[in-house]
């Protein structure tokens, strides 16, 4: 029995920005009040993990890079629970949530948003809510948490607000993908009233959609647009090899902005592809490039277009636009985790998977042993990887 005891296990620790992770033995303390300890069964690699490792993350900058266990797309089994945990128990299958849901704060009580603040102030510092860590290396030195999850470890400790119980019959490999990227894009499409739909930003039947960036997030927006019944779904990417992916997830058209006709730019191209010549109904940036964010806004329809920023830009990057583009009725908005409330709405994403509206299997392009985690970062940047899933 390991309940209440310190566990020794393998973890991949980031010690320096831009350097390979170090797989080593660490210790994981028992969960404290309002915490659970989870045996991670499946974990995926997200671009946000690579972004933080690069040193460009404002919350984890290269100038103050502390030892950290990355990873936030994961599913596993509850090993033990701390005091005051009543909704989760040993043996429960869970998805880890980097966007918590306490059900009590101002933002949880507002149906329009998912930006729970219960654990946010310490989460951004790599700490548990009590201001300490549960990880130590072999020297007894603290290792920091990441996005409230730290799934690149065989065991992790998270807040009870940062995990959601799921049916034990649901495949944990698929479940891991719902911890970030796929849920983000699918929720951003406003699937059947959840996610972005709560902010009146739901793709409507017969509408036009343009998605910039055909990665896992972009593909899940495409799939959400297809499920919503959009008429024209345009995928935009500079890599022609991604056209096949885009169409398999629902795109009706594919545009490479580096291969336009003379005198054309991506905004004029997309505007010309709209039914009335006034622009696209719903546009999404999934690249994190501020110039692309501007293009997405300007390509949205005059008077009614909604442009959503999903991609995470480098630290210090800023966006700017002529106010006129907003004055004439365009809406520019952003979204985190698809505006999904992780505990109360995750079941809807699982239902979408069961119905075939969300094809989770297709996002898994690579599978690797946990010992191959550094190679997986190479996969991520290769251009032919949506998601790599690790088995521990």
Out of 46, 219, 286, 385, pick the active-site residue: 46
Output the six-digit token pair for 380. Answer: 């991520």
391 labelled catalytic: no
**CA–CA separation, 67 vs 52, rounded Å?**
12
Out of 116, 149, 286, 385, pick the active-site residue: 116
180 labelled catalytic: yes
366 labelled catalytic: no
192 labelled catalytic: no
Out of 120, 247, 367, 368, pick the active-site residue: 120
| Residue 323 CB neighbour total at 10 angstroms | 7
Out of 29, 35, 37, 48, pick the active-site residue: 48
Out of 35, 108, 145, 219, pick the active-site residue: 108
**CA–CA separation, 5 vs 379, rounded Å?**
37
105 labelled catalytic: yes
134 labelled catalytic: no
Output the six-digit token pair for 43. Answer: 């974990």
Out of 99, 134, 149, 180, pick the active-site residue: 180
Nearest to 69 by CA among 89, 95, 96: 96
User: Can you give the length of the chain in residues?
Assistant: 392
Out of 35, 73, 101, 223, pick the active-site residue: 73
Nearest to 293 by CA among 314, 279, 308: 308
φ/ψ (deg, to 5) at 233: -125, 110
Nearest to 223 by CA among 239, 192, 247, 254: 247
Out of 9, 22, 27, 105, pick the active-site residue: 105
72 labelled catalytic: yes
**CA–CA separation, 124 vs 61, rounded Å?**
12
73 labelled catalytic: yes
Out of 29, 37, 101, 102, pick the active-site residue: 102
Residue with tokens 């999934």: 286
Out of 35, 37, 47, 145, pick the active-site residue: 47
47 labelled catalytic: yes
Nearest to 334 by CA among 388, 288, 378, 368: 288
Q: What's the number of CA atoms in the CB half-sphere (13 Å) around residue 136?
A: 11
Residue 205 is given by DSSP the state T
46 labelled catalytic: yes
Q: Which residues are catalytic?
A: 46-48, 72-73, 102, 105, 108, 116, 120, 180, 387
């Amino acid at each position: 029995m390991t309940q209440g005891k310190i566990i020794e296990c393998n973890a991949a620790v980031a010690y320096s920005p831009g350097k390979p992770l170090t797989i080593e033995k660490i210790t994981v303390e028992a969960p404290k009040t309002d915490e659970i300890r989870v045996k991670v069964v499946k974990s995926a690699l997200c671009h946000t993990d690579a972004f933080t490792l690069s040193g460009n993350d404002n919350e984890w900058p290269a100038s103050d890079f502390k030892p950290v266990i990355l990873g936030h797309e994961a599913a596993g089994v509850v090993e033990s629970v701390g005091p005051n945990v009543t909704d989760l128990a040993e043996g429960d299958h869970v998805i880890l949530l980097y966007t918590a849901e306490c059900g009590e704060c101002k933002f949880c009580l507002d149906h329009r948003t998912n930006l729970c603040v219960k654990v946010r102030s310490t989460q951004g510092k790599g700490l548990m809510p009590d201001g300490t860590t549960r990880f130590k290396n072999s020297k007894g030195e603290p290792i920091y948490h990441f996005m409230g999850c730290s799934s690149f470890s065989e065991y992790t400790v998270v807040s009870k607000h940062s995990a959601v119980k799921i049916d034990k019959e649901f495949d944990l490999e698929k479940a891991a993908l719902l911890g970030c990227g796929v849920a983000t894009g699918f929720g951003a499409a406003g699937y059947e009233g959840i996610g972005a739909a709560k902010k009146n930003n739901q793709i409507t039947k017969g509408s036009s959609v343009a998605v910039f960036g055909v990665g896992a997030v972009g593909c899940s927006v495409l799939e959400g647009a297809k499920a919503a019944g959009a008429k024209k779904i345009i995928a935009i990417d500079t890599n022609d090899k991604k056209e096949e992916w885009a169409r398999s997830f629902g795109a009706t058209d594919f545009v490479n902005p580096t291969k336009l006709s003379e005198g054309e730019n991506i905004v004029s191209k997309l505007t010309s592809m709209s039914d009335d010549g006034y622009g696209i109904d719903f546009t999404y940036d999934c690249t994190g490039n501020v110039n692309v964010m501007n293009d997405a806004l300007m390509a949205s329809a005059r008077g009614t277009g909604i442009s959503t920023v999903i991609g995470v830009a480098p630290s210090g990057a800023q966006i700017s636009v002529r106010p006129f583009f907003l004055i004439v009725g365009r809406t520019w908005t952003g979204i985190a985790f698809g505006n999904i409330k992780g505990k109360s709405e995750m079941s809807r994403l699982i239902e979408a998977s069961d119905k075939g509206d969300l094809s989770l299997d297709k996002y898994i392009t690579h599978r690797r042993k946990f010992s191959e985690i550094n190679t997986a970062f190479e996969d991520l940047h290769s251009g032919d990887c949506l998601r790599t899933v690790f088995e521990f």
